[in-house]
Amino acid sequence: MATIEDRLAVLEARLQAAEDQLAIIRLIASYAPAVDSGANHAAAALWVEDGVYDVGGLTRAVGRDGIAARIDLNQDLAARDRGYGHLLTTPRITLQGDAAEAVNYSFAFTRKERDDRWELDRASANHWRLARTPEGWRVVERFNRLMDGAPISRETVGRGVGP
Amino acid sequence: MATIEDRLAVLEARLQAAEDQLAIIRLIASYAPAVDSGANHAAAALWVEDGVYDVGGLTRAVGRDGIAARIDLNQDLAARDRGYGHLLTTPRITLQGDAAEAVNYSFAFTRKERDDRWELDRASANHWRLARTPEGWRVVERFNRLMDGAPISRETVGRGVGP
Amino acid sequence: MATIEDRLAVLEARLQAAEDQLAIIRLIASYAPAVDSGANHAAAALWVEDGVYDVGGLTRAVGRDGIAARIDLNQDLAARDRGYGHLLTTPRITLQGDAAEAVNYSFAFTRKERDDRWELDRASANHWRLARTPEGWRVVERFNRLMDGAPISRETVGRGVGP
């Protein structure tokens, strides 16, 4: 028969795991609003200080300043269009104590000056490594690859899938 | 050393916050199925009785009947097309006791008679104000703006972003 | 006045319900990464052994092997294109003890050889029946229909909507 102490300890550990998942869902759901509102430094603050954003194999931004600069570039590109929006899907999260990993997709839509129509410009796979810090969960590395059928894309989205 | 009473009170408060987030995720995930199934009154019931749906700066529907009527209009427009669907992203939720706010995106897709192809018609930013009611969490105001690069769009999606 | 025993029992039941929702969110968020990485057997393992995947009224795959074979077919079709990705939205979950149901949308995007542009190929409604098993939550039946304006589409996405 479990004692009250045992039951409290189990509840505290289980609740921590539920809270961790909700915090990571919220962290990743914060990226698109930060970027699309032009708050590139707020977006970069989702990472740990020396975090990494590996963007499509083209850029490997390191540190919050580097990540904010990389996001600025995206903003400039988006500004050429008449509309834009990022869509990030709910991550599949795997907790490992004070670390975690997550996999999701990101989609970038823009509205073209050509014909006023919205188009999907990029569909990407993302593998996120995360860490619990004194300020809460933060991104250690976001590894992003276009879903272009290349082996690395399949491998990225498939990380952690399976038994 | 925390007493059993202390630990129970902390667990109850933390669990309430986790449940609140899940309830709000579920509430917002209920919008698209309600609208796309034609249940406009069920969709309007996601709001409080005197709730507001400010749609793209064009309409400011007030009260459940007004919101249901506004949604009917959307249904009529969708019926002209051969396919349709709403996509709402997972909200970024900020709890404030019995109130909450959330930011997310909504996308409206339709399939065109012209060429049988699906197109993204609208990408919008949404800022939701929510309240805990005796029936559960409900929407107080959904403030919706097209992601068309206008300052109000950036401001809407950016609400609550940052420190 | 609730006893400590009472409060522990209530906390345990409430936490179980929160964990169930997070587990189902994670289960459904596992589908797209499994399929898009080519892990069709891992995708099929999201179902119970004798699970059903009713795909758009065209195929009714029964059992994990049947589901894996059906997914293989999808992979072959996707391989003809230069890019692809599945997008599943956050489900609206209704718990019923050791069973649950959920409604969400799935979108399939591909990049066309014709003009190198991404297109939305399919937007579908999904109704999921789920069960708690010794290995965790699994899919009993995924009932999928194109959002093509047909009554069955509206009915599928509307399941569980309303009072």
pLDDT of residue A163: 40
Here the tokens at position C92 are 């609206």
Average pLDDT (B7-32) is 98
CA distance B101 to A33: 14
CA neighbor of B29 nearest in space, from C89, C156, A31: C89
Report the Cα A111 to chain-centroid distance in Å: 23
Question: How large is the ipTM?
Answer: 0.94
Mutate to test the interface with B, among C88, C94, C109, C147 (most CBs of B within 10 A): C147
pLDDT of residue B162: 54
For residue B144, the SS3 value is strand
pLDDT 10s digit of each residue in chain A, 163 long? 789 999 999 999 999 999 999 999 999 999 999 999 989 999 999 999 999 999 988 899 999 999 999 988 777 766 666 788 999 999 999 999 999 999 999 999 998 877 888 999 999 999 999 999 999 999 999 999 999 888 898 899 999 775 4
The label of the residue with tokens 């990407």 reads A124
- Residue in A closest to C4 by C-alpha: A4
By DSSP bridging, strand B47-55 and strand B136-146 are parallel
CA neighbor of A107 nearest in space, from B89, C36, B93: B89
Here the tokens at position B133 are 């009611």
- Residue in A closest to B15 by C-alpha: A15
Chain A residues interacting with chain B (CB cutoff of 8 angstroms): 4-5, 8, 11-12, 15, 18-19, 22, 25-26, 29-30, 32-34, 36-39, 42, 45, 78-79, 81-90, 109, 111, 117-120
Q: Do C92 and B36 touch (CB under 8 A)?
A: no
| A84 sits in which H/E element | strand A83-88
CA neighbor of B102 nearest in space, from A48, C90, A40, A53: C90
Who's near A60: CB < 8 A, 6+ residues apart?
Answer: A52, A53, A54
Q: Read out DSSP for C11-59?
A: HHHHHHHHHHHHHHHHHHHTHHHHHHTT-HHHHHTTEEEEEEEEETTTE
Number of H helices, E strands in chain A: 5, 7
Who's near A99: CB < 8 A, 6+ residues apart?
Answer: A129, A130, A131, A132, A140
Nearest-by-Cβ selection for B11 from A5, A12, A87: A12
Torsion (CA) C43, C49, C53, C59 in degrees, nearest 10? 110
Distance from CA of C4 to the nearest CA of A (A): 8
For A11-36, give one letter per residue: b (16+ CB within 10 A) or e: beebbeebbbbbbbbbbbbbbbbbbb
Nearest-by-Cβ selection for A149 from C12, C39, C84: C84
pLDDT of residue B41: 94
- Residue in B closest to C146 by C-alpha: B83
Q: Do C109 and A107 touch (CB under 8 A)?
A: yes
pLDDT 10s digit of each residue in chain C, 163 long? 789 999 999 999 999 999 999 999 999 999 999 999 989 999 999 999 999 999 988 899 999 999 999 988 776 766 666 788 899 999 999 999 999 999 999 999 998 878 888 999 999 999 999 999 999 999 999 999 999 888 898 899 999 775 4
Q: Which residues of A touch B120 (CB under 8 A)?
A: 109, 117-120
pLDDT of residue B53: 97
Here the tokens at position B40 are 């406009």
Distance from CA of C60 to the nearest CA of A (A): 24
Write down which chains contact chain C via at least 3 CB pairs under 8 A.
A, B
Long-range contacts of C3-10 (CB under 8 A, 24+ apart): C4/A4, C4/B4, C4/B5, C4/B8, C5/A4, C7/B8, C7/B12, C8/A4, C8/A7, C8/A8, C8/A11, C8/B8
